[in-house]
């Protein structure tokens, strides 16, 4: 039984006249008659009784007419859902996120995406850079956000923005009196670094900048995330270098100043996804990301 035959049958059942039904379907009467006969052959029972004025439904026809609109409505719903999914308006978006990234631009990007496509369900997964790469390859997430992702042949990286760097200090520290702070100002100061992961990231960029400027770096502690780092600075365990988004963590006693450095002016935030992922939902999110300012 074809959906086309179901539509022909429903129209004829509503009009009770072959001529009017054919006109409504924008077809001639003979093809409509043939399709109804084919449908009756498939059902194995007459669906209409021919009368002088037109047709009347048989018991079998009435039973089919009771169900036909539901079938047609369900088919239309399935078609509409498929079209919306193909256009990236329906589906699910699994996003890998990390510490300071959720303190500024990532929520703004996802909010803009959600406003345009409210029927796409967004699921967030807090992951390290290595965990994001593994999850992308296993198709557990659609896209990941992180800093300095490695170049991999099967993955694509897009710059989201470059964030300026800040120095985080505790209230009362002598460097709070300065408007900007250089790496030379931080020589031999106890520093809290993050994240302490094997993959190159912000901690390695900070160490490299100190080495290039020939400034001694005193590492007090290395921690996993920006929240722990800032909490330790707030507790007067040391100072830190963080991003502009990290500066949104306004814990009691925290003071932030711009960092002045030749080699550590800013740091990239990027998104990463499978190179061969043709998902309409991913394509729609990438459009949103491209529109965001890079600085």
pLDDT at 103: 85
Average pLDDT over residues 241-270: 94
pLDDT at 92: 94
pLDDT at 78: 87
Six-digit token pair at 279?
């998902």
Domain segments of the chain: what residues? Answer: 3-86, 92-159+269-291, 164-267
What CATH class is the domain 3-86? mainly alpha
What digits encode the pLDDT tens for the residues 202-234?
999 999 999 999 999 999 999 989 999 999 999
Average pLDDT over residues 236-253: 95
Residues of the chain with pLDDT > 90, as a percent, come to 82
Return contacts of 32-37, CB within 8 angstroms, 24+ apart: 32/8, 35/4, 35/5, 35/8, 36/5, 36/8, 36/9, 36/12
| DSSP-derived secondary structure for 41-105 | HHHTS--EEE-SSSEEE-HHHHHHHHHHHHHHHHHHHHHHHHHHHHTTSSEEEEEEE-TGGGGTH
In 3D space, the residue among 224, 229, 121 whose CA is nearest the CA of residue 167 turns out to be 229
Q: Please give the model's pTM, rounded to 2 decimal places.
A: 0.76
pLDDT at 85: 84
Six-digit token pair at 41?
């052959």
Dist. CA 4–CA 77, nearest whole Å: 16
Do 92-159+269-291 and 164-267 show the same overall fold? yes
For 92-159+269-291, CATH gives: 3.40.190.10
Whether residue 57 is predicted with pLDDT greater than 90 in this model: the reply is: yes
Chain-centroid distance, C-alpha 51: 60
* Domain 164-267 bears CATH identifier 1.10.1040.10: no
pLDDT at 292: 86
| Residues 199 and 150: beta-carbon distance below 8 Å | yes
Residues of the chain with pLDDT > 70, as a percent, come to 100
What digits encode the pLDDT tens for the residues 68-103?
989 999 988 888 888 888 888 899 999 999 877 788
Mean pLDDT score of the chain? 93
pLDDT at 251: 94
């Amino acid at each position: 039984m074809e959906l086309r035959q179901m539509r022909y049958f429903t129209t004829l059942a509503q009009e009770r006249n072959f001529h009017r039904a054919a006109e409504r379907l924008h077809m001639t009467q003979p093809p409509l008659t043939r399709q109804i006969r084919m449908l009756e052959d498939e059902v194995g029972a007459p669906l209409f009784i021919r009368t002088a004025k037109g047709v009347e439904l048989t018991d079998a026809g009435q039973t089919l007419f009771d169900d036909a609109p539901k079938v047609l409505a369900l088919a239309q719903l399935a078609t509409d859902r498929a079209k919306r999914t193909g256009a990236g308006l329906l589906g699910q978006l699994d996003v890998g996120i990390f510490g300071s990234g959720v303190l500024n631009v990532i929520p703004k990007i996802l909010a803009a995406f959600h406003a345009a496509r409210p029927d796409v369900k967004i699921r967030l997964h807090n992951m390290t850079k290595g965990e994001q790469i593994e999850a992308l390859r296993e198709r557990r997430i659609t896209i990941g956000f992180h800093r300095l992702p490695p170049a991999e042949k099967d993955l694509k990286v897009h710059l989201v923005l470059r964030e300026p760097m800040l120095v985080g200090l505790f209230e009362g520290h002598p460097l709070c009196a300065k408007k900007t702070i250089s790496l030379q100002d931080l020589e031999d100061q106890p520093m809290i670094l993050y994240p302490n992961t094997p993959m190159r990231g912000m901690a390695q960029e900070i160490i490299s900048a100190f080495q290039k400027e020939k400034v001694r770096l005193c590492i007090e502690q290395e921690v996993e995330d920006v929240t722990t780092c800032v909490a330790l600075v707030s507790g007067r365990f040391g100072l830190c270098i963080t991003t502009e988004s990290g500066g949104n963590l306004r814990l009691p006693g925290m003071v932030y100043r711009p960092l002045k450095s030749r080699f550590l002016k800013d740091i990239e935030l990027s998104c990463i996804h499978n190179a061969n992922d043709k998902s309409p939902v991913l394509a729609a999110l990438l459009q949103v990301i491209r529109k965001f300012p890079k600085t």
